[in-house]
Structure 1
Amino acid sequence: MTDDPLTGEQALARVFCLDDLLPDAARRWQQVARTVARDVLAPTIEDDFETQRLRAEHIPALGEAGLLGMHLHGYGCAGASAVSYGAACLEVEAVDSGWRTFVSVQGSLAMTAISTFGSDDQKRRWLPEMAAGRAVGCFALTEPAGGSDPAAMTTFARRDGADWLLSGTKRWIGLASIADVAVVWAQTDEGVRGFVVPTDSAGFTARPITGKRAMRTSIQCDIDLDDVRLPDDARLPDARGLRGPFTCLNEARFGIAWGAMGAARTCLEVAVDRARTRHVFGAPIGARQLIQAQLADMLLEYEKGALLALHLGQLRDAGTLTPAQLSVAKLNNVREAIRIAGQARSILAGDGITDEFPVMRHMANLEAVRTYEGTDEIHALILGRELTGSDAFS
């Protein structure tokens, strides 16, 4: 076994290679993302995780590669297919979930909100700068007491003459402390509305959340909004009710379904490498039945999750993807990626908890991914409602 020169990556590709199933354009985008992830992000990722640092100097490389808001059209965005965007998310998260989260917050949340619901002036002002990585956006929906129930938000925007005054508190808002613009969702007398808020506005304060044991290469913040005064043209004119934020969340869930399989692939490749090179009781551990059974199970779940993500992308490109189908993929792929990472940690034994290997970092990050954009329980209830016709949320 050890005379075989194949790496874990090559051995996995010999059994299942997602690359071969991608359309030509998607494969090109995948290679672009893989190059940026491996050449720019990967060299510093362990140090950045240890020091809890988002290395902002990497952001322009993502913009120059066209990866920010790449699924959007016009205003400097690449207009790539859904499959292309998904494949790019997979490659970025194969290095670290924090950086795929950056791509999602910037593109799937903030930029999608402006592109889908914004005015022409808002689009011209922000989208080209955000696509290039010269401006950073955040998406302020979640509140301290209402993560899974956005309808219960207490942030409120009230009319004050021709302006709006925005007050409230948001929590777990990605990138807020480095963002140039925030898309803030608030209750109004007309229902939930979205606002495009420059983060240098008086009364806007973002504080990074400290003490995290996951997503340490990303930034999540508490936001205080203290009578932030906004002109009427700060409103997203086409966003009314919760359809606005839910549309953006669905875009993010799509990227998560792909990205989680990137983390899973890395953990599986590392486990295969270890199984082929570590000797115990006179033979490589990969020659033992228990290890081979574990690797086979990991491969099955990775392959099924990757094919599910590809199926979602094809549905999205055909315009037939439903929110329930997104829930299937978010629930399954993150859950199985966590299991794959856990099995990889076991195969690596004690060394698996060190930063010599990326597995423990992926395990921690995936627990955070499991929580945001809908917990397992929320997606299970969405699917239960779809299957039974009964709403268990109320």
Structure 2
Amino acid sequence: MPLPDEDHTGTRIAHHRKRAGLTQRGLSQKIPYSYSLLTQVESGHKSASPDLVAAVARALHIDVTALTGQPYVTELQQDRLAELIRPIREALDLYDLGADPEITPRSTDRLQAAADHLCAQIRAAKLHDAARALPGLVAEITTAAHRTPSTDLWAALTSTYRTAHDVSVKLGYYDLSTVALDRMAWAAERASDPLLSAVRQYMRALVYFREGEYVIGQRLISSGQDILGQAPRTRERHAVTGQLHLGASIIAARAGDGEGVAAHLSEAADYADQIGDAQNVHWLSFGSTNVAVHAVSANIEMRQYGAALRHAADVALPDDWAVSRAAHFYVDQARAQMEAGRGEAALKSIIRARRLAPQQTRYHPGARETVRGLVHMSRRTPDTLDHLAAWVGL
């Protein structure tokens, strides 16, 4: 059965629903969403929220990517990003071959600095630059770590695998992101750093969150917290612990556990009060701003859009906050504004996200669905919105 010509998340839901032999009403009875909403999503008159997509995927026993349709191949080719994925795949695949005799690695300090620079590029949403440099650096650090194993080199390699995961997720290559997480576990074990292993569990939890497997996600968060018990009580450990609570708050929100959301946000806020803003702790940016932003996201996941906007109004992003995270906040805010009927404000938020991080916003499923929803809200599509819709590939 071919997919319909008008290819968006709603039509993919309809396609896979029909393949499963379900009517719209039959599917609506298997998910915590109304028949009316499902029909509007399938017709394209309402955006498909990430939580609805995850619920449908679970009900139909398919992967979320079958419904989201990522990666956006045409746009990736236009941005010359698709051609960078294969070298990353190869670099991740050659991890167990030992040292490459053709490579003469730089010093450990310079390799650590290069790995940190890649993290900084991701935080600045410079996806093309990071993706281009990543394969060569992975190969170089892998060779160095095999020749002269050290905690510093294995930690640097763990960092590059984390970058590979980030690039893969932001461009929609979720299968590759899973491989990167496996390699991250392999390198973190050799670094013998429980904080690295705990961060990896946090990232695995977000994978299952995206797929709608909230119980597994919660178990992975708990596993990360158990691993942290092996680490000394340092500022870094507190930062990772706080971040785990933030991840747990979003999983609890998607699962409809309001009390769990409040408890995890409160724990995270306590850690933020203790240590202040902890920038660049194992690629995290934990602190009071991150807690406030997660409160917005959690309310959106619970479909409490008024509360989300009230929290958003209190958020003051620092000037030096990571561009990638700031852009994500504005995409979230745009979704809440659209759902609250504030179309003009939502458009401004999406444009702000685009100005901050154009590549990230172009491939962000939430941005794409919000723009689609705004198009259907508008009786007459403004030129700015029309241009934005074409830019994301609608």
TM-score, scaled to structure 2? 0.27
- Which structure has greater strand proportion? 1
TM-score, scaled to structure 1? 0.27
Q: Which has the higher contact order (CA 8 A, sep 6+)?
A: 1
- Which structure has greater helix proportion? 2
